[in-house]
Amino acid sequence: MSRLAPPLRLLQAPLKCWAVPKAHVSAKPARTPTSPMEQAVGLSVMFVSFLVPSGWVLSHLESYKKSSTT
C-alpha cells in the first residue's frame, strides 16, 4: 500500500481544492419591474420557439418517412 499512496495523493489533490463558484442570487425585488406586456411578449416568444419547430417536423413527417425509405 505504501507504493500506491503517492499516486493516490496526486489523484485526490485536485478534488480537494475543487471550488464551486457562489451564485449571485438576490432576495431583493427587481430594480425595474417587468410590465405585463413584456411578460406576454416573453412568454409568447418562448412558446413560439418551442412549438414552431415541432409543428414543422410534424407537418412534414410524411416526407421524412418517404425520404428515409429510399
C-alpha distances out from residue 15 to 4, 8, 10, 12, 31, Å: 17, 11, 10, 5, 39
Examine residue 1 and state whether it is found in any structural domain, yes or no.
no
Q: At CB < 8 A and 24+ separation, what contacts does 27-30 make?
A: none
**pLDDT tens readout for residues 37-70:** 999 999 999 999 999 999 999 999 999 888 877 6
Q: Which residue segment(s) compose the domain that 49 sits in?
A: 35-69
Domains in the chain: how many in total? 1
Examine residue 11 and state whether it is found in any structural domain, yes or no.
no
Q: pTM here?
A: 0.48
C-alpha distances out from residue 21 to 14, 17, 24, 36, 64, Å: 16, 12, 9, 34, 45
Examine residue 8 and state whether it is found in any structural domain, yes or no.
no
Give the whole-angstrom CA distance, residue 9 versus residue 17: 13
**pLDDT tens readout for residues 18-41:** 677 777 887 788 889 999 999 999
Examine residue 41 and state whether it is found in any structural domain, yes or no.
yes
